[in-house]
Structure 1
């Protein structure tokens, strides 16, 4: 799945109308900066900012430590582990209302395959009311994934071609 993703030019996923219609001033939208061929959520971030949403990005320390979502005003980012660009550790931690999630693969049942550290599954469990949106390229879709007991399904997946609701 990583090879299929890497073979495609990384491109922004356009903001689908169901996503845009849910945005409200004051909502906290957690996004990410793409690495390693991940789909680029920049257009969704722009739509969220235009709607008056506050933004957050994940802050990762290592594989074992749960990620935190830190407030991000669009300013400079620090280098983090695994090639991540993230807010400085002193930024304010915020509870996201919407989580835009990178992934390696997904199916139409809302299952996702991540990078393997479980960061997002733990974040989903910590913020169960957050709307979980996978951001992917259409080539990352597979017929079926078998979730582990700790996997938390997505509410939707946005690709460059469509909006998928399980």
Structure 2
């Protein structure tokens, strides 16, 4: 497995800053429409999630596309759910969680299950991101948590969950970056 260099790539850092600013402005402009857009994204991805699949999702931070509607629908369908949990600044696992279960604050302000929750091996990982491209390239926050998790759970289907405006022409791709299988936005399901 390739390992990221000790110093961040300035081109990726600049792209991350630009994407954060654009995403924040987009969500402000959407206002109350953000909830309907998140519901549309959930509706687009639900037909692509097999019955009985264990699904890892995330709880939105700031202006990420909120998967709450998707979480509610999957829970109602009886799927086993998991949330990303940072055990330390580099190690992420997926722990079992259901709506209403207690959460704690983890590193990077992540809301995560209690450490006593059992680990789940996801069949499908729904991931947040800052930007994506049509080849399944994904740029996240730069810590590499999801890339390491994608390598650990190599058999899991990887789906980005993002605003359509987060698509870019090309995400810089390094040897340790793991591509997505699909991206879902409020406008549709985009297989890679």
TM-score normalised by structure 1 residue count: 0.92
Cα distance in 2, alignment partners of residues 22 and 59 from structure 1 = 22
Aligned-residue Cα RMSD (Å) equals 1.5
Q: Which residue of 1 aligns with 2:49?
A: 22
* CA deviation map 1:29-62 (0-9, x unaligned): 0000011311111222222223221100011133
The answer for the alignment partner of 2:120 in structure 1 is 94
Cα displacement (A) at 1:108: 0.8
What CA distance in whole angstroms lies between the structure 1 residues aligned with 2:92 and 2:156?
15
Q: TM-score, normalised by structure 2?
A: 0.80
Query: Hey, what's the Cα distance between the residues in 2 that align with 1:43 and 1:154?
Result: 22
- The answer for the alignment partner of 1:69 in structure 2 is 94
* Among candidates 15, 21, 24, match of residue 6 of structure 1: 24
Q: Secondary structure at the match of 1:7?
A: helix
Aligned to 2:157: 131
Count of residues in Structure 1 that have an aligned counterpart in Structure 2:
164
The structure with more radius of gyration:
2
Distance (whole Å) between structure 1 residues aligned to residue 45 and residue 97 of structure 2: 24
Q: CA deviation at 1:17?
A: 4.7
User: Is there any run of 5+ residues in structure 2 with no aligned partner, and where?
Assistant: 1-18, 28-33
Residue 78 of structure 1: aligned partner: 104
Choose between structure 1 and 2: higher helix proportion.
2
SS of residue matched to 2:94: strand
Contact 2:160–2:180 (Cα < 8 Å) also in 1: yes
